[in-house]
Amino acid sequence: MTNKSRLIYHIEGIVQGVGFRPFVYTIALRYDLNGFVLNNSKGVLIEIEGFEESLDAFEKALFKELPPLARIDFWTKEAITHKGDTTFEIRHSDEAHTKSSPVLPDMSICDECLAELKDPHNRRYHYFFTNCTNCGPRYSIIKTVPYDRPYTSMQPFVMCDECKDEYTNPLDRRYHAQPISCSKCGPTLVLRSMQGDLLSKNEEAIIKLAELINAGHIVAMKGMGGFHLMCDATNEIVVGRLRERKHRPTKPFAVMFKDIEAIKEVCELSYKEEEGILSLLRPIVLVKRKRGLSKISSLIAPHIDRLGVFLPYTPLHIMLFEYLKNPIIATSANRAGEPIISDAQLLEQKLDGVIEYYLDYNREIVNSSDDSVLQYIGDKMLLMRSSRGIAPQSFRVDTQDKRKILAVGAHQKNAIAIYLNHQIIVSPYIGDLDNIASNELFEKMIESFARFYDFTPDLIVGDLHPNYISTQWAKKQNIPFIQVQHHYAHILSTMCEHNLKETVLGVAWDGTGYGDDGTIWGGEFLACTQESYERVCSFEPFLLLGADASIKDIKRILASLLWDEMGDSADEHLLHYFDEKSLKLLKQIYTKKMNSPRCSSVGRLFDAVAVLCGMEGNVSYDGESGLLIESLYDATISEHYVVEIDDTIIQYKSMFVQMLHDKEPRLIASKFINTLVHIIIRLSVQYSYPIVFSGGVFQNRTLVEQILQNVTQNFHFPIQLAINDGGICVGQLYKVLEK
Ligand code: ZN
Ligand code: ZN
Ligand code: FE
């Protein structure tokens, strides 16, 4: 006979609202152990007693069999005197103390719920809001903490007896699943015309919506974090009509397919990509289209060979596909640049003239979110938009800092982050802060985080740029505010993610960021520690003629670079791109340096190269130039252009003269990418530090592929954080955290 003892476990991480207590209850019963489990301010407390070998078995199961959404970040165990309990209980949470537990993102439907949805004998057969503790909405329905039904937008729906039984039974998968409901007691679906006429309800409404899509209508459907605009992705005329109505000439649309087989018909998938598409995050994954004719409309992603694809992730989407004939465009319903619309009234206001019908339901989306977007390069996952399924995202950091800190991020692809109790919590993607709706969402996000975490910051951190909305907001708060240089923050965020303490060579390449000297940076090699950084090398600056005008009209960048290198003899080449009069005007701007900031951005060099590769007109979306260059890249071309690295400056402008001679777009694009890799290799040899890559330029698949193949030094990319400005908030926090 062995001894009996009693143990106390303190567990932190994602352990509340994920079925953790019933899980502990189940394994305690299994090993005939007594005691209790409860939620407290830090996570979960377990006191448990019984025979020692049973306690060992319990501990093994605790770590091995975790519920799908749970994650243990930190735990302690201590032995105390055996008390002689005779039962194991789930004790009530002390409500006042649950404010540091992370609010979880919305999750796609789990396999068990999916099976029920499709089982004619189950009471949730075809029930479009089926969910359980392991899946379904969370972030989108939570108003305040603790995460409990009265504090969610499920509050108006009174559970029926059957749902209540499930909700209160610790052995049921739906024990304390806050959005639990069924066709008897849950929300109602309605299909309306844009004039507001009610056309049908519930399952009928789904069937009718599918028929409308099949018949070539443009519709909207309220999904998990907001409305999707939808139409048949194979119907050229409808896709063209959508582009016209949305004033969106070329920016690619994401396509939702019924299942993975349907995706494989039109795209080539690597094992990793397939795994990512099928994962419970159900993100949009950028994948390669198969060559040749495809039933997917060529207007969905013009001029590029890639497609953003994803699978239905709510029971509602899954049921819709039961009745659809083809894959559909499913894109966030919004006005260009604004946040996703999550409310029917706004939808009617803002998308009048774009959509014809919409499917709505009467459960409020309290917090909106977009679909997450990522891509795989080899085995590496690069996150481009962190939202549904991923954010809000929390992780533990190695610091004893006791303060509460808010990071307001940058300007484009803004996201905010907070630090408290050894944890960093990152918000979902907010968007570019250059319209009122996005700015409102930015402020709302900060308010929501304050509510979720009982959070008033002791310190705010933000970008160095004086004119960013995020900076200006922070300055108004009467709270100490520290500004961190943009590209340094890019590198710091990846250092934080990988817990890098030593000096690294940060390669921060992007479109724009405010430099220490007041010029625009974006082609930076920075030697960084958590304390400070040194700009060890950067691309030779050029003038951004007419400032923002150059960002849209990218021919101006080419002109600026060629004039720098060739003087007046550039004119004859530039006349291919400008009429005489506009060229003359532009040259005046150049010579007088009128409203033309100095800029070292690599992102802008992609624009100039894209012009030489035949891109016409204005850039209509961020990243368009990079995608064109990717599609032209030819791996059999191994040459690169000659550049000089003169101490701290990369002199590359002669490259553009050489490009004029090369003429052939395939050659220009390939040699350009090879040149960038060549520059990285040269500097990596010169500074033998580990390398950290960050910045929007590294969303370029071809560039990253070439880096993976050719850079031999130890290097790091962000994994869980967006590689573009979405990850900057974390870098800002990392700068000020106590070491
Ligand atoms: Zn489920
Ligand atoms: Zn019910
Ligand atoms: Fe940036």
Distance 217 CA to ligand 3 centre (A): 38
Strand-strand pairing, 373-377 and 380-385: antiparallel
- Distance of alpha carbon 157 from alpha carbon 146, whole angstroms: 18
DSSP state at residue 541: P
- Please name which of 575, 572, 545 lies closest in space to residue 561, comparing C-alpha atoms: 545
Answer for the pair 354, 229: CB distance below 8 angstroms, yes or no.
yes
Any idea which ligand is nearest the CA of 166?
2
Q: Would the CA dihedral through 130, 148, 75, 459 be positive or negative?
A: positive
Average pLDDT of the segment spanning 672-679: 98
- Distance of alpha carbon 184 from alpha carbon 474, whole angstroms: 47
The residue to which tokens 């899509």 are assigned: 213
- Which stretch of 96-100, 261-265, 522-526, 580-584 has the lowest confidence by average pLDDT? 96-100
pLDDT at 1 over 80: no
Any idea which ligand is nearest the CA of 167?
2
Q: Residue 146: its pLDDT value, please?
A: 82
Q: Residue 98: its pLDDT value, please?
A: 54
State the pLDDT confidence band at 647, using cuts at 50, 70 and 90.
Answer: confident
Q: Residue 17: its pLDDT value, please?
A: 87
Q: Would the CA dihedral through 98, 102, 106, 107 be positive or negative?
A: negative
The residue to which tokens 């019984």 are assigned: 50
How big is the chain, counted in residues? 739
Distance 676 CA to ligand 3 centre (A): 18
User: Which residues, other chains included, contact 65 with Cβ-Cβ below 8 Å and sequence gap of 6+?
Assistant: 23, 27
Q: Residue 287: its pLDDT value, please?
A: 97
Any idea which ligand is nearest the CA of 487?
3
Q: Residue 389: its pLDDT value, please?
A: 96
Omega prior to 146 cis, within 30 of 0 = yes
- Phi and psi angles of residue 174, each rounded to the nearest 5 degrees, phi first: -105, 15
**% residues pLDDT > 70 (the chain):** 99
Check residues 292 and 703 and name the one with the higher pLDDT. Answer: 703
- Distance of alpha carbon 145 from alpha carbon 134, whole angstroms: 19
- Distance of alpha carbon 215 from alpha carbon 193, whole angstroms: 15
Distance 131 CA to ligand 1 centre (A): 4
Any idea which ligand is nearest the CA of 410?
3
How many C-beta atoms surround the C-beta of residue 719 within 10 A? 13
Omega prior to 665 cis, within 30 of 0 = no
Tokens matching residue 542: 């050029």
CA distances (Å), origin 152, targets 32, 162, 357, 662? 36, 20, 28, 61
Any idea which ligand is nearest the CA of 180?
2
Check residues 378 and 487 and name the one with the higher pLDDT. Answer: 487
- Distance of alpha carbon 633 from alpha carbon 665, whole angstroms: 9
Name the 3-class secondary structure at 3.
coil
How many C-beta atoms surround the C-beta of residue 79 within 10 A? 12
pLDDT at 95 over 70: no
Check residues 277 and 147 and name the one with the higher pLDDT. Answer: 277
State the pLDDT confidence band at 165, using cuts at 50, 70 and 90.
Answer: very high
CA distances (Å), origin 686, targets 503, 505, 525? 14, 10, 12
- Distance of alpha carbon 706 from alpha carbon 715, whole angstroms: 13
b/e map 350-374, b = 16+ CB within 10 Å:
ebeebbebbbbbebbbbbbbbbbbb
Maximum Cα–Cα distance across the chain: 98
- Distance of alpha carbon 702 from alpha carbon 708, whole angstroms: 10
pLDDT at 534 over 80: yes
Distance 311 CA to ligand 3 centre (A): 30
- Distance of alpha carbon 185 from alpha carbon 199, whole angstroms: 22
Average pLDDT of the segment spanning 228-249: 97
DSSP characters over 142-194 = B-SSS--GGGBTTTTSPPPHHHHHHHH-TTSTTTT-TT---TTTS--EEEEET
Average pLDDT of the segment spanning 449-477: 96
Q: Would the CA dihedral through 232, 236, 238, 240 be positive or negative?
A: positive
How many C-beta atoms surround the C-beta of residue 490 within 10 A? 33
Tokens matching residue 266: 């039109």
- Distance of alpha carbon 304 from alpha carbon 625, whole angstroms: 10
Type of residue at 131 = N
Q: Residue 102: its pLDDT value, please?
A: 84
Omega prior to 392 cis, within 30 of 0 = yes
- Distance of alpha carbon 518 from alpha carbon 675, whole angstroms: 28
Check residues 356 and 2 and name the one with the higher pLDDT. Answer: 356
State the pLDDT confidence band at 94, using cuts at 50, 70 and 90.
Answer: low
Any idea which ligand is nearest the CA of 186?
2
Q: Residue 618: its pLDDT value, please?
A: 80
Any idea which ligand is nearest the CA of 493?
3
- Phi and psi angles of residue 42, each rounded to the nearest 5 degrees, phi first: -100, -20
3-state secondary structure string across 109-140: CCHHHHHHHHCCCCCCCCCCCCCCCCCECCCC
Q: Residue 145: its pLDDT value, please?
A: 83
- Please name which of 223, 222, 224, 241 lies closest in space to residue 232, comparing C-alpha atoms: 241
Distance 114 CA to ligand 1 centre (A): 7
Any idea which ligand is nearest the CA of 463?
3
Check residues 249 and 2 and name the one with the higher pLDDT. Answer: 249
Ligand 2 (ion): which residues have CB within 5 A? 160, 163, 182, 184-185
Strand-strand pairing, 219-222 and 357-361: parallel
- Please name which of 256, 266, 265, 261 lies closest in space to residue 309, comparing C-alpha atoms: 256
CA distances (Å), origin 379, targets 13, 372, 719? 27, 18, 11
Helices and strands: H and E segment counts in the chain: 23, 32
Q: Find how far residue 63's CA is from the centre of its chain.
A: 29
Question: CA angle, corner 669, sides to 666 and 672, nearest 5?
Answer: 140
- What are the pLDDT digits (tens) for 350-407? 999 999 999 999 999 999 999 999 999 988 999 999 999 999 999 999 999 999 999 9
The gap between the terminal CA atoms of the chain, to the nearest Å, is 49
Q: Residue 597: its pLDDT value, please?
A: 97
b/e map 662-674, b = 16+ CB within 10 Å:
beebebbbbbbbb
- Radius of gyration, CA atoms only, the chain: 27
Q: Would the CA dihedral through 681, 685, 687, 693 be positive or negative?
A: positive
Check residues 93 and 106 and name the one with the higher pLDDT. Answer: 106
- Please name which of 405, 401, 383, 448 lies closest in space to residue 732, comparing C-alpha atoms: 405
Distance 113 CA to ligand 2 centre (A): 15
Answer for the pair 147, 138: CB distance below 8 angstroms, yes or no.
yes
pLDDT at 739 over 90: no
Type of residue at 590 = Y
Distance 184 CA to ligand 2 centre (A): 5
**% residues pLDDT > 90 (the chain):** 92
Average pLDDT of the segment spanning 265-270: 96
Distance 210 CA to ligand 2 centre (A): 26
- Distance of alpha carbon 93 from alpha carbon 42, whole angstroms: 12
The whole model's pTM is what? 0.95
Answer for the pair 612, 659: CB distance below 8 angstroms, yes or no.
yes
pLDDT at 88 over 60: yes
pLDDT at 100 over 70: no
Distance 205 CA to ligand 2 centre (A): 20
Tokens matching residue 42: 């830090």
Answer for the pair 263, 309: CB distance below 8 angstroms, yes or no.
yes
Distance 110 CA to ligand 1 centre (A): 4
Distance 174 CA to ligand 1 centre (A): 8
pLDDT at 319 over 80: yes
Beta bridge partners of 267: 289
